[in-house]
Chain A
Amino acid sequence: MSTLEINDLHVSVETEDGPKEILKGVTLTIKDGETHAIMGPNGSGKSTLAYSIAGHPKYTVTGGTVTLDGDDVLAMSVDERARAGLFLAMQYPVEVPGVSVSNFLRTAKTAIDGEAPKLRTWVKDVNATLEKLDLDSSFGTRSVNEGFSGGEKKRHEIAQLELLDPKVAILDETDSGLDIDALKVVSDGVNRFIEDKNKGVLLITHYTRILRYITPDFVHVFVNGKVAESGGPDLADELEANGYDKYVSAAV
């Protein structure tokens, strides 16, 4: 059983005019097998929430707690958080020239497990995962994210999700910039993670499109740095029909 608990989280960033508060008290609990969709307009702080949980140095936590199975996530370094079982699929995955995908995946897997994976089964696992995500076998020899198309970057993120097998995954706008075929491939990967392994997912998105392929258990409307409303999957349908206007004007 794994639980990610976010309680009254306040986060600010440094700007030219001093610190600016982006997250203004976020409270959320994600349990095993639960998929939570966070939806909100641009600039509402959705991505800040994702990066803060992962520990990006740009963001300063000024209040609140984040725990994974009771352990204090905020006290951990970035890599300790990943080793504790958190995974962030990024909206803009970073290029690392000269480091091959296969070297990167093996190094990450070794770090997460605390020991090198068994060579024979590992190669098989990697190839099977790449194939499921419609990435050909030469992918492993390419440099991490360098020259990847937008779709390849996102599929590579999901390949990592499946291979590294975290406890809780945060997907930051994984659907953005994907055509419909790539969206299906990526959604299938996320569904395998959720259903086969009964894992928790925090799905951050701007559009309802991906929710046709990944059914959330909970939908949260995120406005002005906090959750404005929570509900079931039907809340997404309502947002699709009426947009965020109601929440944005209420928050101002």
Chain B
Amino acid sequence: MSSALEVDKVISHLHPEGSFDLADHPVPTGREEVWRFTPLKRLRGLHDEAPFGAGACAVEVSAAQDVVVEQVGADAVERGLSGLVPTDRVSARAWAAADGATVVRIPQDTVVDGATILAHTGTGAELAGASHTVIVAEKFSKSTVVLTFAGTAVLADNIEIVLEDGAELTVVSLQDWADDAVHHSTQHARVGRDASLKHVAVSFGGDLVRHDATADYAGPGGSVEMLGMYFADEGQHIEHRLFVDHTAPHTKSNVVYKGALQGQGAHAVWIGNVLIRKVAEGIETYEENRNLVLTDGCQADSVPNLEIETGEIEGAGHASAIGRFDDNQLFYLRSRGIAEDEARRLVVHGFFNDLIRRIDVPELEEKLAATVESELEKNVLKAFK
């Protein structure tokens, strides 16, 4: 099948021209708009010439019933099925270096019980890894695919997500890396007519995690929900860059990312880009990013961008907030006898609770709540021990 999407070109800084040719992607200096928040010297050369090797990550696949997971070669038709064309050098290098792809296929009309899990474990290998994953949700299928990342690795990957017409798919990317891991991920979804994607990014671990998650629409009526949750600790750089390209009418997008920061040098970046093309009449979009700064010495950057080429829409909006503990919330809870550490714990759990509820992947819920708790132990509650 052809995945080419015919759209007019748009002169937009949100929409850099992609290319498979490495020559079109010079080594970034850090002054480029798309690189200005990223500490390049901690990227271990992924953006430059760092060699790739095999075995950076071991992948354990646990496929839910009826779901087919297979390895294909580098020239397999599945590669590129989502229309992904690398827009930065790391993605282009990973594309060229990957020696094949893991394809996850959810057969047509199949409602799958339970999640398909691709568990990546960094092996601590000397060389960086390049990998490629393609998830294809065939027509009217319904399923959940979870990618987890743990251990130590330097990894650049491209993850393609294809939703055929009427498909319903949840994709979770859980970054629970060891403290020294570096992960650059490019994730692109093409959403078919009346299809609905829930994309979830959860970033807890790693020295530097930079994620590009993008989506466009192959037909009208598609819906994208992008949910994100992150906890940036001392010295950690966690960057989520989102781009929803409304390429078809009557499509929806809803983006909610929430993060907490704690410890010296913790840095979180959120870029939320939405483009509403001329053709995209009657669409609805909303994006929101909230950061809770728990200690001194942290930095949160939150940049929502909305470009609108047609006024004939249902609604478009965004919200961005960076805040500290709200003294009034703490006072209210404490005035009911709740000790300060417990009050702080309640506020942070509360901050993430509705998001965890919306993520709604039973396999993950307990883990997410437990991770919030263990993150809190590191700083927020330490003063009360």
Contacts of A81 in B (CB 8 A): 335
Residue A77 at the B interface, CB < 8 A? yes
Cross-chain contact A111 with B337 (CB below 8 angstroms): yes
Majority DSSP secondary structure for residues of B touching A: helix
Residue A83 at the B interface, CB < 8 A? yes
Q: What distance in Å separates the Cβ of A243 from its nearest Cβ neighbour in chain B?
A: 32
Cross-chain contact B332 with A107 (CB below 8 angstroms): no
- The one of A87, A95, A97, A108 in contact with B351, judged by C-beta atoms closer than 8 angstroms, is A97
Give the residue name and chain of the B residue nearest to A109 (CB). B337
Residue A82 at the B interface, CB < 8 A? yes
Q: What distance in Å separates the Cβ of B53 from its nearest Cβ neighbour in chain A?
A: 44
Give the residue name and chain of the B residue nearest to A113 (CB). B337
Alpha-carbon distance between A77 and B335 when the two chains are bound, in angstroms: 9
Q: A57-B327, A99-B346, A104-B346 are in contact. Are A83 and B334 (CB under 8 A)?
A: no
| Chain B interfacial residues counted at CB < 8 A | 24
Residue A90 at the B interface, CB < 8 A? yes
Contacts of B347 in A (CB 8 A): 96, 99
Cross-chain contact B339 with A111 (CB below 8 angstroms): yes
- The one of A55, A77, A143, A164 in contact with B336, judged by C-beta atoms closer than 8 angstroms, is A164
Give the residue name and chain of the A residue nearest to B326 (CB). A94
Residue B371 at the A interface, CB < 8 A? no
Cross-chain contact A96 with B331 (CB below 8 angstroms): no
Q: What distance in Å separates the Cβ of B265 from its nearest Cβ neighbour in chain A?
A: 27
Alpha-carbon distance between A112 and B337 when the two chains are bound, in angstroms: 5
Cross-chain contact B342 with A111 (CB below 8 angstroms): yes
Alpha-carbon distance between A143 and B329 when the two chains are bound, in angstroms: 13
Cross-chain contact B353 with A96 (CB below 8 angstroms): no
Alpha-carbon distance between A77 and B334 when the two chains are bound, in angstroms: 9
Alpha-carbon distance between A78 and B338 when the two chains are bound, in angstroms: 9
Interface string of A29-62 (1 = CB under 8 A from B): 0000000000000000000000000111100000
- The one of A83, A94, A112 in contact with B331, judged by C-beta atoms closer than 8 angstroms, is A94
Alpha-carbon distance between A249 and B342 when the two chains are bound, in angstroms: 47
Contacts of A95 in B (CB 8 A): 329
Residue B352 at the A interface, CB < 8 A? yes
Residue B328 at the A interface, CB < 8 A? yes
Residue B354 at the A interface, CB < 8 A? yes
Residue B349 at the A interface, CB < 8 A? yes
Cross-chain contact A99 with B349 (CB below 8 angstroms): yes
Cross-chain contact B332 with A57 (CB below 8 angstroms): no
Alpha-carbon distance between A164 and B331 when the two chains are bound, in angstroms: 17
Q: A108-B336, A108-B338, A164-B336 are in contact. Are A78 and B346 (CB under 8 A)?
A: no
Residue B51 at the A interface, CB < 8 A? no
Give the residue name and chain of the B residue nearest to A166 (CB). B337
Cross-chain contact B354 with A97 (CB below 8 angstroms): yes
Cross-chain contact A78 with B331 (CB below 8 angstroms): yes
Cross-chain contact A79 with B340 (CB below 8 angstroms): yes
Q: What distance in Å separates the Cβ of B346 from its nearest Cβ neighbour in chain A?
A: 5
Contacts of A88 in B (CB 8 A): 335
Q: What distance in Å separates the Cβ of B61 from its nearest Cβ neighbour in chain A?
A: 34
29 contacts between A and B (CB under 8 A): A55-B335, A57-B327, A77-B340, A78-B334, A79-B334, A79-B335, A79-B337, A79-B338, A82-B334, A82-B335, A82-B336, A82-B338, A88-B335, A95-B329, A96-B332, A96-B333, A96-B350, A97-B354, A98-B349, A98-B353, A98-B354, A99-B346, A103-B346, A108-B338, A111-B339, A111-B342, A112-B337, A143-B354, A160-B336
B positions within 8 Å CB-CB of A: 326-329, 331-340, 342-343, 346-347, 349-354
Known A79-B335, A96-B346, A99-B350; further 14 A-B contacts with Cβ < 8 A: A55-B335, A79-B334, A79-B337, A90-B332, A94-B328, A96-B347, A98-B352, A98-B353, A98-B354, A99-B349, A103-B346, A108-B337, A112-B337, A143-B350
